[in-house]
Amino acid sequence: MIKRFKIDHKIAGIVNKSTFFKTLNFIDKGDIQTPCLIIDSELIKKNALTIGKDIQDSSVFYAVKANPAKDILHLLDTLSVGFEISSEGELRVLRELNVNPDKIISSNPVKTITFLKSAYEYGLRYYAFDSIAEIDKLARYAPGSFVYLRLSVPNEGSEWPLSKKFGVEIEDAIILMQAALSKGLVPVGITFHVGSQCNNLYNWNIALDKTKILWEAAKMAGINLKIINIGGGYPVRYTRDVLTIQKIETNINTLIKERFPQGTIVHIEPGRVMVGEAGIFATSVTGKARRGYEDWLYIDVGVFNGLMESVGGIKYCFVSETHDGIGEEKSWVIAGPSCDSFDVIDKNILLREPQIGDMVLILSSGAYTVSYASEFNGCMIPNIYII
């Protein structure tokens, strides 16, 4: 198997070679069934030790939604990484792992009452908010908690924007902070999200400009903040090279040092970057067809059982087996296993023609894949192997 996959010019600049060869070795040795997601724990460990390193006074809270596999959470817990959660389901897994509640925060600005009750009971004390309704809920079900306001910031240049659903402008923010204070909550900071898979350094600059204005306005209103939660957004290499963690963090660190008081605490909530490149999907070719002018390739993982983000604009890199140079490179429409026409992963993908039953690997698929997956049409959710 190792010999049948090559690192050619298309993937040389984007693939993590160690993860790639470890994955191939595992496929060779193991008796795996496709589709499955193979995760390189060493790369996650490396990411956990890198993220936050270049931002002074920072703490890292892994966004569990990216991939809630228990073994990943356990690994991160042992590496002293904290967790950002949004729901009872995410809390349940951390509870089962006995994660210290001091290491958990919730940045979903709209939480269910059931979640709030159990989170508070477990000991969580840090929550995001951006509405009066949420303040009322927090005051009732999480009294006295430390709260941070979700500010609206531009998401241009982010492949997975997150700006519409949450966040308020500066004028409303002050009113909300005062309302929180009057209800016995403790406003401690500001949070934003520049959009997931953000490859535009400038987004963080604008977000921190707005944060600075709000920080000063809060001070004038008698509210002294101490935390900036910069959310997630760090990108991974799907089909091209992207900003490095170091470049993003050096920039953020300089801006924070220039603009905010010494000792300002920074919270980082990486999801995609922590696990994305560590995961490789192993899939099998289930069919091929010529339809009009197009060549279609069918594989056993698709939009519903793992590649949901492909319909929102995330482009994956596919690698097919080579058979001693046999099979000419062609442009393919790649589709998943269900009967639904929505289950089309991508178009114009150049691949050497595979045979039915051949394996196709999908790089950088560790984040927002299996966590989104459903068993629609009876198609199996890929097993995860942590290696």
- Name the site residues for ligand PLP (rule: CB under 6 A): 63, 66, 84, 107, 162, 193, 196, 231-234, 269-273
Q: Closest separation between CB of residue 63 and ligand PLP, Å?
A: 4
CB of 148 to ligand PLP, least distance (A): 11
Q: Which is nearer to ligand PLP, 5 or 166 (CB)?
A: 166
Q: Of these residues, 36, 317, 339, 379, which one is catalytic?
A: 339
Provide the H-helix boundaries in 144-228. Answer: 170-182, 201-220
Residue closest to ligand PLP (Cβ) = 232
- Nearer to ligand PLP among residue 271 and residue 279 (C-beta): 271
Residue 372 burial by CB count (10 A; 0-12/13-18/19+): exposed, middle or buried? middle
Cβ proximity to ligand PLP: between 196 and 364 the closer is 196
Least Å distance between CB 341 and ligand PLP? 28
Q: Is 339 a catalytic residue?
A: yes
Q: In DSSP terms, which residues pair with 281 in a beta bridge?
A: 37, 362
Packing angle between helix 245-259 and helix 41-50, nearest 10 degrees?
Answer: 20
Q: Which two tokens stand for residue 366?
A: 């560790």
Q: Which is nearer to ligand PLP, 15 or 275 (CB)?
A: 275
Rounded CA separation 10/327 (Å): 17
In this structure, how many other beta carbons lie within 10 angstroms of the beta carbon of residue 95? 15
Q: If phi over 0 gives left and psi between -120 and 50 gives alpha, with beta otherwise, what is residue 167?
A: left
Which is closer to ligand PLP, CB of 160 or CB of 281? 160
Provide the minimum distance between the beta carbon of 61 and ligand PLP in the complex, in angstroms, as a whole number. 8
Give the side-chain half-sphere CA count within 13 A for 198: 28
Q: How many CB atoms lie within 10 A of CB 269?
A: 26
d(CA 342, CA 320): 23
Gap between the Cα atoms of 230 and 106, Å rounded: 13
Closest CA to 344 of 360, 333, 352, 358: 333
Q: Closest separation between CB of residue 377 and ligand PLP, Å?
A: 27
Gap between the Cα atoms of 275 and 234, Å rounded: 11
Between residues 125 and 193, which has the closer beta carbon with respect to ligand PLP?
193
Nearest to ligand PLP of 108, 284 (CB atom): 108
Q: Would you state the structure tokens that stand for residue 311, as one six-digit string?
A: 């319909």
For the chain, percent helix, then strand, then coil, each to nearest 5?
35, 25, 40
- In angstroms, the CA 246 to CA 299 distance is 36
Active site (catalytic) residues: 339
